[in-house]
Amino acid sequence: MNYSTEKNNKVYICGEIVSRAEFSHEVFGEGFYEFFVKVLRLSGQADVLPVTVSERIMTEDMQPGATICALGQFRSYNKLEGGRSRLMLTVFVRELLSAPLCKNPNGVVLSGYICKPPVYRTTPFNREIADLLVAVNRAYNKSDYIPAIAWGRNARFVKNLAVGDRLALSGRIQSREYQKKQEDGTFLTMTAYEVSVSKLAAFDDDAEFDLDEEFGIYTGAERLHVHER
């Protein structure tokens, strides 16, 4: 497989495995496992991200404490919890790398469509924020629904976009804890995963928008294993 053909959804992560692999699901007899990876930010803080790997490319050294560097996609799926459907997100590994590609251990590039009206707001410190949900097409008529958050002038730009507008963005995948109020009045700590946008652009369906050229895609990586699905 040529990774560069995955134009609209590319992820690169490199970090420390912090949980044991657990069976997630099976597709056409192929098993998939999930574990969590701690990926350092350039600031020194860390994001702990869910990662899904096929049994075809898993290795015995994928244990807590080991380092994993991989290319893949940021995918979503619905999970039924308490009678309600919940959007789940994961880094779906397609290629394992033998070494880090660059200093930035967390990069994502997406191209898709706005599928909910963006929500623009300001913080008590007058910082501008906009939340958006991007539908990213996938093979076999599937789509991934990826939440993203834009800041500052990017937030001002996003608030004027409409449902159905096409855009491309780059940034990093971040984990964020929040408190969810339960029916009994108590609060449950939850973790949200989203793309923190560093760069974005809107473009028409007919426009030739080269993500590789515009946003810079990691190339020249030495592959260990490739997953074709």
Please give the chain's pLDDT, 229 residues, in tens: 333 336 799 999 999 999 999 999 999 999 999 999 999 997 889 999 999 999 999 999 999 999 999 999 999 998 777 777 888 999 999 999 988 888 889 999 999 999 999 999 999 989 999 999 999 999 888 999 999 999 999 999 999 999 999 999 999 999 998 888 877 888 888 899 999 999 998 876 545 555 555 445 444 445 455 555 5
C-alpha–C-alpha distance, residues 204 and 57, integer Å: 38
Total-model pTM = 0.86
- Which amino acid, one-letter code, is at 7? K
Which domain, by its residues, includes 85? 3-226
Q: How many CB atoms sit inside 10 A of residue 156's CB?
A: 13
Dihedral of the CA atoms 200, 203, 208, 214 (nearest 10)?
-10
C-alpha–C-alpha distance, residues 205 and 11, integer Å: 23
Number of domains in the chain: 1
Q: Rounded to 5 degrees, what angle do the CA atoms 150, 106, 101 make? A: 140
CATH code for position 161: 2.40.50.140
What is residue 119's DSSP assignment? E
Quote the pLDDT of residue 215: 47
